[in-house]
Amino acid sequence: MSKKQIFFIFGSILLIVLLFLANTKFSNKKGDAKLPENEGLVNANNDSLGFLVEQAKLSLNEVQRVAFDKMEGNLKASEPKEASFIQIIRFWDSLRRPAIAAYYKEKSAFVISTEENWLEAGNRYFSATRFVKETEKQMLFIEAMACFNKTLEIAPNNVEAKINLGACYVEGSSDPMKGIGILREVEKIDSNNINLQLNFAFFSGKSGQWDKAIARFNKVLKIQPDYIEAYLHLADAYEQKGDKANAIISLEKYSALIEDVTIKAEVKSYIKKLMTG
């Protein structure tokens, strides 16, 4: 098994946990607004999020369709709507359709406009970009940025929203330097933010600046020594730079911190390849 496959095993577990377990809390605040008809969302043409949602609905089997129709009916009839939105979002989460779950989270944020709801909607869209086709990524980045901007309208000092907004500009817009600027502004006031340092490290790696990426990953580990996945990224950066010795050291540190025997065996196997390759 290759290093990329090892990364995929660990990264998949991490992303699934983040997607299905994180960001599930709803605010207790209630809103009186009517359910919007795709307010603020991309129009339903053949290259839009609305079209993607309709296609997802059409893909449901008969049992799923009956269940979803009932949930939609409850949503239109219920006041307040928190429980109905939670049910629909969990439904799409269970089908591993994060972009559709994000769509309904954004709709819930229009009805119950809180900092927490807008931030979760943005985070869901941002995470969903990892699971869709390349042709669908940009629309999700656009929606994520809109949600993060809504978050910042309510809470201008929300650091997580600022960092993820900056990351969206870097990864999914024609103005990546605007995103870097946002991130550097955050760094001035919160230089020890793990998410911030990871984003800088990943962007450095994408541009082939491996020394900078290594410095950022090391800073992450200095701030939070038990952030074990950073050792994997650090190993990759060292190997990309051609420093196999430090790549091996990083993999050994990672292996020592994990308990999964299967992954330990794969890491050990890859270390042997590095030593003999």
Q: How do the pLDDT tens digits run along the chain, 277 residues long?
A: 344 444 444 443 333 333 333 333 333 333 333 333 333 344 433 458 889 999 999 999 999 999 999 999 988 887 768 889 999 999 999 999 999 999 999 999 999 999 999 999 999 999 999 999 898 999 999 999 999 999 999 999 999 999 999 999 999 999 999 999 999 999 999 999 999 999 999 999 999 999 999 999 999 999 999 899 999 999 999 999 999 999 999 999 999 999 999 999 999 999 999 998 7
For residue 179, being part of any structural domain is answered with: no
Residue 167 in any domain: the answer is: no
Q: Distance (Å, rounded) from C-alpha 20 to C-alpha 122?
A: 15
Asked whether residue 228 is domain-assigned, the answer is yes
CATH number reported for the structural domain that contains residue 245 in this entry: 1.25.40.10
234 contacts 201 by C-beta, under 8 angstroms? no
Residues 119 and 233 placed together within one structural domain of the fold = no
Q: At what angle do helices 159-172 and 194-206 cross, to 10 degrees?
A: 10
Examine the domain organization and report whether 2 and 72 are in the same domain: yes
130 and 201: one domain?
no
Do 202 and 93 belong together in one domain? no
Query: 145 and 32, same structural domain?
Result: yes
Shared domain for 204 and 83, answered yes or no, is: no
CA distances in angstroms from 184 to 94, 145, 166, 199, listed in the order given: 37, 18, 9, 11
One domain for residues 116 and 201: no
Nearest residue to 172 via CA among 201, 148, 196: 148
Cβ proximity of 168 and 179 under 8 Å: yes
Residue at a domain's end among 135, 156, 177: 156
Host domain of residue 200: 191-277
Last residue of a domain, one of 156, 180, 203: 156
The predicted model scores a pTM of 0.76
Domain count, the chain: 2
Is there a domain that residue 170 lies in?
no
